[in-house]
Amino acid sequence: MKLQKKPVSLIRIFALIAATALLVLSTVGCQGGEPADTINVVKEGADPKGEADCTDILQAVHEKAAAEGKKVYYPNGTYRYNGEYLNLSSGIKFQSIEGVLLKNDISEHNLFQHDDLGNFIGLIQNPLEKDESDLGGDEYSSGYLMNPPLFNKTYTRKVKDVIAWWYNDFGLECTRTKSTGWIGWYYWTWNHHNCQEKMASMAAGGGDPYDASRHPLLGFYKGDDPVVQDWITYWMLEYGINTVGLLSVTPPYSSENYTFEDPGHRDHWMYQWLENCPNSKNMKYLLCPEVYWGLDRSETDRERNATYILRMIDKTYGQYPDNVYTVTYKGKEYPVIFFKEEGALLDTYDNAQQEAVNTLAFYKRISDKCKSLGWPGVAIMASTSASIAYFDTFPEKLEEMDVIRFYGRYGSTHTSEKAATMQEMVDRFKTTANNTFPNTVAGLMIAKETHSPHQSGFTVTGHSPQVLGSYLDKVLEAVAGNDIGLYDAISLHNVSEWAECGPGLIPNMQDRFAYLQTIKDKVVVGEK
C-alpha cells in the first residue's frame, strides 16, 4: 500500500531518549550513603520528619541543582510540600523509592510517584487541586512529569488484539477556553478532596465524596498533554494492550472542517496523541466517530456530517497510516472504523427505514475514501443493537462496495449491563442463546458506577481487579472456543471514564496498577 506518512518529530524523539536516560538515573536507589554530585535536601534545611513546611527550601534546592547541573538527593523521610512545581530537569535520586514521601496538607498521597516498574513519573499534576474558584478560569499548574520510556517488547497473547476504548474528557484546554463542557471537568473539581464542599451548589449534600480509585497516579492531569498521554500509552502497552479506539465526541454536524490541530478543538487530544506521543507509534488505533441520536435529518446536515467524518479520516488514517488497526478478510487488510451508535447513524441518514439507502451510500463514501488512501475498502465495526436487523439482510450489497461489517460494543457484549453488581454481569456472560451475536469482538466493562455530577446514573457496584479477572477468564474462554465466530480479539471499556463509570486502565491512587496487572496476568502468554 502506498500511504502518505507524516514524519515523526525528531526533536521529540531525541528529547524522549535523553529524558529516558535521565529517568533511569533518577530512580536508582542509594542505600548505604549519599551519592556524589548531588545536593542533599536535608543538609539544605528540609525537615525529613514532615513537621515543618519545606516548600520554599525544596523549591530553592531544585533550582540550585538545575543551575549547577547536579541531581537532588532525598534521604528517606516525609517532606511537607505545598507548592505547585519543582524543577526536576537535572534529575533526582532517592535513598529508596519506598522510603521518601512528599506530601501536602490536602492529601496523604505521595506527590512523587513511581510506577510499579520502578520508573519515576515525577511530581503529579495539579497537586494543590486548584479550580475555577482559585484560578478564575485560568490554566492550572502542571506539576512536573518526566517522559516515560519507549515500549520495546513483543508479547504473545491469548488473543491477537486487546482493544481499549479511549474516551478523554478531563483537563482539556477546549473545556477551559471554548466552553465545550462544564469547566469543572477541566479542573477535576468533581473529585477533589473537598469535592462535596465544592459541589454543594450542583448536587444535594455536595454529591459523592472524594474517591481515591478515581484519582489518577499522574495527578488530576491534563488530558491533552502529550507527556500524560505517553505515560498512559506506555503503561497500556507494557500490560498487554495493543490497540486503542480513539473516541471523537465532537458533534460531527457542527462544522465541515476537522481542525483538530487547534487546541480549542474537542479532538485536539487525538492530534496530540498521534503527533507528539512517541509511544503511540507502537500502539494500533482505530477511529470512533460520534453520531448522535436526534440529529437533523435534512440533506444539508447529513452532508455536513459525512464531510466532517471523511475529513477526519484524511487527517488521521491519511496522515498516520502505519499503525491503523486493520482486520483481514479474504487475504486483504481493511482499516477499521467503529460506530458505537450505529442506530443513531441509521436514524440520521434514513430515519430508521429498513432499506438504509442513505446509510449504505455513506458507507460507500467511507470505503471510497479509504481506497483513495491505499486500502481495499473499509471494515465497519458496529454496535450490536438497533442496527443488526438492517444490515444482515443484504451483506452482498456491502461487499460490493468493499465494506466489511462486523460487531462490537462500547461496553460489554453477551451479558446484561443492567445487572446490579459487576459479579452479576460476569455471571450472566454467555455466548449462546438469545444474546449471541456472531462475528463479534467480545467486550467487557471494568466498572459501571457513576460519580456525581455525571448524568449517566450507573449503579452497578462491586468493581474490583479480582472481578475483572473472573470476567476476563470467561471472555477469553469464549473467544478460544470460537463457537459462534468471535473475532480473535477482545475490547475493554474503558481507558478513562473516571466519572461516568469508575476506575479504568489508568493507574489510580487506590488500586495503582492492579487492573492493568490483572489484564497482563490473564492475557499475556509471554515475551518474544
Domain check: are 363 and 250 in the same one?
yes
pLDDT tens, position by position, 207-260: 999 999 999 999 999 999 999 999 999 999 999 999 999 999 877 666 678 999
pLDDT for the residue numbered 55: 98
Grid coordinates given for 188: 477535576
Grid coordinates given for 282: 507502537
Q: Is residue 138 part of a domain?
A: no
Q: Is residue 129 part of a domain?
A: no
Contact 217, 512 (CB under 8 A): yes
Domain check: are 307 and 404 in the same one?
yes
Q: Is the pLDDT of residue 365 over 60?
A: yes
Q: Is residue 133 part of a domain?
A: no
Domain check: are 97 and 195 in the same one?
no
Backbone angles phi, psi at 491, to 5 degrees: -120, 150
Q: Is residue 126 part of a domain?
A: no
Domain check: are 513 and 375 in the same one?
yes
Largest pairwise CA distance in the chain:
78
Domain check: are 98 and 159 in the same one?
no
Sign of the Cα pseudo-torsion (444, 448, 454, 456, in order): positive
Q: How confident is the model at residue 23 (pLDDT cuts 50, 70, 90)?
A: very low
Residue (of 330, 226, 221) closest to 279 by Cα position: 226
Q: Is 281 helix (H, G, I), strand (E, B) or coil?
A: helix
User: What does the pLDDT average to over 120-136?
Assistant: 97
Q: Give the range of the structural domain holding residue 20, as residue numbers without chain letter.
A: 10-103
Q: What is the DSSP letter of 341?
A: T
Residue (of 368, 369, 374, 370) closest to 401 by Cα position: 368
Element (H, E) at 243: strand 243-248
Q: Any residues with CB less than 8 A from the CB of 477 and at least 6 apart, and which?
A: none
Q: Mark which of 103, 134, 168 sits at the end of a domain.
A: 103
Q: Mark which of 59, 78, 103 sits at the end of a domain.
A: 103
Domain check: are 48 and 189 in the same one?
no
Which range has the top average pLDDT, 85-99, 295-309, 376-390? 85-99
Domain check: are 281 and 346 in the same one?
yes
- 10-24, 146-160, 351-365: which range is least confident on average? 10-24
Our CA angle for 182, 188, 193, nearest 5°, is: 130
Contact 4, 318 (CB under 8 A): yes
Q: Is residue 311 part of a domain?
A: yes
Q: Is residue 112 part of a domain?
A: no
pLDDT for the residue numbered 293: 78
Q: Any residues with CB less than 8 A from the CB of 271 and at least 6 apart, and which?
A: 260, 261, 265, 315
Q: Is residue 505 part of a domain?
A: yes
Contact 441, 408 (CB under 8 A): yes
pLDDT tens, position by position, 33-83: 789 999 999 999 999 999 999 999 999 999 999 999 999 999 999 999 999
Domain check: are 159 and 78 in the same one?
no
Element (H, E) at 51: strand 49-53
The CATH number covering residue 210 comes to 3.20.20.80
Sign of the Cα pseudo-torsion (143, 144, 149, 150, in order): positive
CA–CA separation, 523 vs 492, rounded Å? 12
User: What does the pLDDT average to over 337-349?
Assistant: 90
pLDDT tens, position by position, 106-121: 999 999 999 999 999 9
pLDDT for the residue numbered 251: 72
328 C-beta neighbours (distance < 10 Å), count: 10
Q: How confident is the model at residue 325 (pLDDT cuts 50, 70, 90)?
A: very high
Q: How confident is the model at residue 263 (pLDDT cuts 50, 70, 90)?
A: very high
Q: Is the pLDDT of residue 19 over 80?
A: no
CA–CA separation, 140 vs 385, rounded Å? 41
Domain check: are 327 and 454 in the same one?
yes
Query: Which amino acid would we find at residue 318?
Result: G
Q: How confident is the model at residue 324 (pLDDT cuts 50, 70, 90)?
A: very high
User: What does the pLDDT average to over 342-356?
Assistant: 83
Q: Is the pLDDT of residue 25 over 50?
A: no
- 88-92, 178-182, 250-254, 421-425: which range is least confident on average? 250-254
Domain check: are 219 and 333 in the same one?
yes
Domain check: are 330 and 431 in the same one?
yes
User: What does the pLDDT average to over 144-161?
Assistant: 98
Domain check: are 418 and 291 in the same one?
yes
Contact 153, 527 (CB under 8 A): yes
Q: How many domains does the chain have?
A: 2
pLDDT for the residue numbered 188: 98
Q: Is residue 346 part of a domain?
A: yes
